[in-house]
């Protein structure tokens, strides 16, 4: 009976009732102002001597502005990729294909991987490094500010190419409402071959969107490489006089090693993508059986692909090692060994690629050597974990939101890391390969370590960037939900893998239903925490309490008031001086 | 620009955001939800999505913003108009999700409910934020 009454009439009636209720209540509250009457707080946002409005953001070469652009772009991509993830978990609530059909399911997990790896994690970490690295180094800006800007502006078009067909499809959908033929606009189908693009599937699938996506990935690789070169040159040449290699902070060390990995890994991805494009369009046979064979693609791809996962996770380790000592009021335990472990991970990461290929029938002696190196990489990883624990020993733990995030990282990294040790063992990998165990293992790290470190950094540096404070209670709840949601979502996948449920399948036998529903419930918890984070960031940046004292985290008492906070303190003093002069009207009514 | 124009400007921004989000949903789900059919159903023209969409845009740009400025001082979560806009849009979402769901059922319904709520919240937030910014700016300069 609901369907017979126009919705608009019902909503109007409901709203009229509400109006009547509030009108008759008689205790009408005062009118509102948008900002609670605060002065504008724009400590971190440079405003002098630059164009304003849209022109500023389109033409900027300031590292802080570009950093914010990177972070906003990466956050947008993350929300988009998270929508894919929610679709995957919604589809898997029931065993049969209840919702979208298998082709859409394939497309969704493919674009989820592309978006999250290339357009969420790398840009956001590049953005954070853009913002704070020059401050930590005592530099005015990155070494090549214009290269920095170009590197950023290559990313939006590459995202559109990779997720492509979308613009045309959106246009098609808009026009489809009208009586216009739109078939041509809907021709490009989303890519559904998996983010690893294994041949022969990726060469044999006819969809033209694959070519567009390969070009987009190549473009994003160029952007990433440019940013990495910029970081390396900056760290080598732009350090202040009193920062020798022994005084370089741990976050810059991690960005340096990460950038080194990018320089070796991403050009190789670019070359492999070009070969794949040639195979698809120009009749070459690099990956055909009569040419190099499908295994060649896997070797090339994973020689990029495995260092890539360390490119993703090293900045997260860096942020954790950087923030943890400050939040517990102690020095980082074994600073030098954390640096060595970072470099060791960087070197070893190029020697482990074939552990993705144990089941392809390669020579057992090769398998054994790759197994040995894969097991060995657990040692530097464990050094970090143990040193973090030792850093907390006898520290003064204040359970602030960023510290809660870091405790979450340390917990999930134990599960995610140790499950990786099992996978590195050839016999275990034979059993668990291509099951949900693998998905659970790497998601415990790529969800339980990487976004948590970003969220921790977003809280830790929020006052510097916006001049305001976030809502601490909401932030604590959000951090807990994110950490708990990660375990809740991905530990069931580990069990599913042990029980033998393969990955990349949109349908599954009914006996796996309960565990899948548990994982989906966890995914909804994660979605809730993402929404809470978004609300906190947006609302606090608009109307959060203005920060008056630069020592937000009580860093002065332990002598850890680092350069970026000193810079912030100067900004605040400038603002105070401007306000106390009182003649400049723009300070109170902008 | 006065109070009403500010609200309509907020409505244009909010409707743009919401339309974009619904389009994204439509594209991502390969039309499994058929959001335009849902909207047409909601505004009472199930067989004519073009008219339904026009009504949707009209309501989002004119009707709801006007109602919002009438109700705004009485809504909870003040004084920030963006927060009040969220409350306002959440109320609008209730009939939308009940009347518009059509044949959607099962797990898809969970996704539909969550996503449309999110889209409505984004609409209300944008409406209130843009309205508050434009209107307060004008008021501070002495226009009333």
Helical spans, DSSP H, in chain B: 3-28, 35-42, 49-58, 64-71, 81-99, 107-140
Name the residue facing A33 among B79, B99, B100 (closest C-beta): B79
Identify the pLDDT of residue A1: 47
Residue with tokens 């054994």: A368
Tell me the nearest-neighbour CA distance from B87 into chain A, angstroms.
Answer: 12
Cβ of B24 within 8 Å of Cβ of A83? The answer is yes
pLDDT digits (tens, 9 = 90+) for A117-169: 999 999 999 999 999 999 999 999 999 999 999 999 999 999 989 987 666 67
- A40-68 average pLDDT score: 78
Q: Is the pLDDT of residue A386 over 90?
A: yes
Q: Distance, in angstroms, between B11 CA and closest chain A CA?
A: 16
Determine which of B23, B99, B142 to mutate to test the interface with A (most A C-beta atoms within 10 Å).
Answer: B99
Write down the pTM of the prediction: 0.89
Q: How far apart are CA A276 and CA A380, in angstroms?
A: 35
pLDDT in tens, B53-70: 888 888 899 999 999 998
Band of pLDDT at residue A6, cut at 50, 70 and 90? low
Percent of chain A at pLDDT > 70 equals 90
Partner residue facing A100 (CB), from B32, B55, B71: B32
Of A2, A108, A527, the CB nearest to B99: A2
Q: Do B27 and A169 touch (CB under 8 A)?
A: yes
pLDDT confidence of residue B46: 75
Binary contact (A101, B30; C-beta < 8 A): yes
Is any Cβ of chain A less than 8 angstroms from the Cβ of B4? Answer: no
Confidence (pLDDT) at A43? 58
Question: Does the pLDDT value for residue A588 go beyond 60?
Answer: no
The answer, yes or no, to whether residue B77 has pLDDT greater than 70, is: yes
Say if residue A326's pLDDT is above 50.
Answer: yes
Ranges of beta strands (E only) in A53-152 are: none
Interface of B with A in 102-121 (CB under 8 A): 102, 106-108, 110-111, 114, 118
Among residues of chain B, what percentage have pLDDT more than 70? 94
Chain-chain contact of B91 with A15 (C-beta, under 8 angstroms): yes
Q: Which residues contact A81 (CB under 8 A, 6 or more apart)?
A: A111, A112, A115, A116, A119, A120
Residue B79 pLDDT exceeds 60: yes
CA distance, residue B91 to nearest chain A CA (Å) = 8
Residue carrying the six token digits 């055909």: A288
Closest residue to A87, CB basis, from B28, B72, B99: B28
Q: How many CA atoms lie within 13 A of A271 on its CB side?
A: 13
A299, A383, A462, B133, B136 from A543: Cα distances, Å: 52, 42, 13, 12, 14
User: Which residues of chain B does A108 touch, with a Cβ-Cβ cutoff of 8 Å?
Assistant: 28
Of A6, A33, A99, the CB nearest to B43: A6
Residue found by looking up tokens 């009940």 in the block: B98
pLDDT of residue A467: 92
Across chain B, mean pLDDT equals: 84
- CA dihedral (A6, A11, A16, A22) in degrees, to 10, reads 170
Q: Residue A91 and residue B118: Cβ atoms within 8 Å?
A: no
| Binary contact (A9, B26; C-beta < 8 A) | no
Taking only residues 47 to 86 of chain B, the set having a beta carbon closer than 8 angstroms to any beta carbon of chain A reads 49-50, 53, 55, 59, 67, 70-75, 78-84
Tens digits of residue pLDDT in A74-107? 999 999 999 899 989 988 999 988 777 888 899 8
Cβ separation of B100 and A539 shorter than 8 Å?
A: no
Query: Which chain A positions have a beta carbon within 8 Å of B91's beta carbon?
Result: 14-15, 18
């Amino acid at each position: 009976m609901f369907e017979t009454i126009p919705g608009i009439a019902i909503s109007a009636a409901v709203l009229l009732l509400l109006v009547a209720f509030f009108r008759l209540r008689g205790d009408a509250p005062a009118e509102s102002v948008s900002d609670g009457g605060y002065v504008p707080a724009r400590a971190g946002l440079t405003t002098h001597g630059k164009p304003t409005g849209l022109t500023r953001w389109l033409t900027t070469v300031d590292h802080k502005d570009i950093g914010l652009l990177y972070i906003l772009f990466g956050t947008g991509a993350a929300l988009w990729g998270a929508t894919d993830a929610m679709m995957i978990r919604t589809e898997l609530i029931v065993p049969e294909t209840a919702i979208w059909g298998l082709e859409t399911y394939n497309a969704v997990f493919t674009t989820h991987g592309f978006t999250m790896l290339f357009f969420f994690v790398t840009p956001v970490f590049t953005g954070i490094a853009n913002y704070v690295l020059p401050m930590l180094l005592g530099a005015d800006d990155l070494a090549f500010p214009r290269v920095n800007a170009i590197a950023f502006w290559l990313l939006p078009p590459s995202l559109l190419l990779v997720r492509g067909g979308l613009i045309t499809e959106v246009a098609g959908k808009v026009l489809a409402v009208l009586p216009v033929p739109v078939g041509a606009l809907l021709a490009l189908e989303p890519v559904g071959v998996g983010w690893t693009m294994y041949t022969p599937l990726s060469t044999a699938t006819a969809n033209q969107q694959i070519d567009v996506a390969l070009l987009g990935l190549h473009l994003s690789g160029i952007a990433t490489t440019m940013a990495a070169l910029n970081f390396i040159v900056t760290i080598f040449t732009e350090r202040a006089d009193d920062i020798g290699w022994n005084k370089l902070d741990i976050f810059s060390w991690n960005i340096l090693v990460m950038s080194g990995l990018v320089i070796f890994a991403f050009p190789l991805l670019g070359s492999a993508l070009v070969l794949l494009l040639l195979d698809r369009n120009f009749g070459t046979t690099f990956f055909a059986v009569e040419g190099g064979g499908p295994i060649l693609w896997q070797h090339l791809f994973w020689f990029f692909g495995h260092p890539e996962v360390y490119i993703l996770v090293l900045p997260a380790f860096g942020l954790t090692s950087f923030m943890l000592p400050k939040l517990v009021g102690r020095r980082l335990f074994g600073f030098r060994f954390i640096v060595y472990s970072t470099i060791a991970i960087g070197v070893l990461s190029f020697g482990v690629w074939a552990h993705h290929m144990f089941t392809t029938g390669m020579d057992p002696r090769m398998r054994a050597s790759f197994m040995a190196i894969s097991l060995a990489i657990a040692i530097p990883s464990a050094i970090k974990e143990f040193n973090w624990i030792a850093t907390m020993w006898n520290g003064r733990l204040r359970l602030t939101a960023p510290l809660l995030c870091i405790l979450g990282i340390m917990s999930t990294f134990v599960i995610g890391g140790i499950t990786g040790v099992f996978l590195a063992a050839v016999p275990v990998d034979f059993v668990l390969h291509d099951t949900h165990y693998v998905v659970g293992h790497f998601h415990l790290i790529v969800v339980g370590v990487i976004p948590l470190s970003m969220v921790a950094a977003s809280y830790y540096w929020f006052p510097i960037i916006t001049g305001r404070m976030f809502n601490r209670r909401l932030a604590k709840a959000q951090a807990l939900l994110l950490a708990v949601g990660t375990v809740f979502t991905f530990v069931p996948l580990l069990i599913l893998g042990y029980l033998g449920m393969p990955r990349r399948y949109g349908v599954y036998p009914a006996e796996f239903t309960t565990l899948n529903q548990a994982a989906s419930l966890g995914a909804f918890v994660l979605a809730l925490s993402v929404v809470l984070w978004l609300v906190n960031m947006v609302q606090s940046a608009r109307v959060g309490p203005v920060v008056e004292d630069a020592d937000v985290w009580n860093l002065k008492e332990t002598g850890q008031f680092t350069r970026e906070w000193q810079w912030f303190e100067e900004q605040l003093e400038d603002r105070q001086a401007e306000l106390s002069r009182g003649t400049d009207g723009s300070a109170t009514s902008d | 620009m006065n109070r009403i124009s500010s609200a309509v400007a907020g409505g244009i921004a909010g409707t743009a955001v919401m339309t974009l989000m619904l389009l994204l949903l439509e594209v991502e789900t390969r039309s499994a939800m058929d959001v335009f059919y849902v909207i047409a159903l909601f505004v009472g023209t199930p067989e004519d999505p073009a008219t339904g969409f026009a009504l949707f845009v009209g309501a989002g740009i004119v009707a709801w913003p006007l109602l919002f400025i009438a109700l705004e001082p009485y809504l909870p979560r003040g004084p920030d108009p963006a927060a009040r806009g969220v409350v306002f849009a959440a109320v609008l979402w209730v009939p939308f999700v009940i009347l518009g769901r059509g044949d959607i059922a099962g797990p898809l319904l969970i996704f539909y409910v969550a996503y449309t709520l999110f889209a409505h919240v984004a609409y209300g937030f944008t409406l209130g934020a843009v309205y508050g910014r434009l209107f307060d700016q004008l008021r501070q300069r002495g226009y009333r």
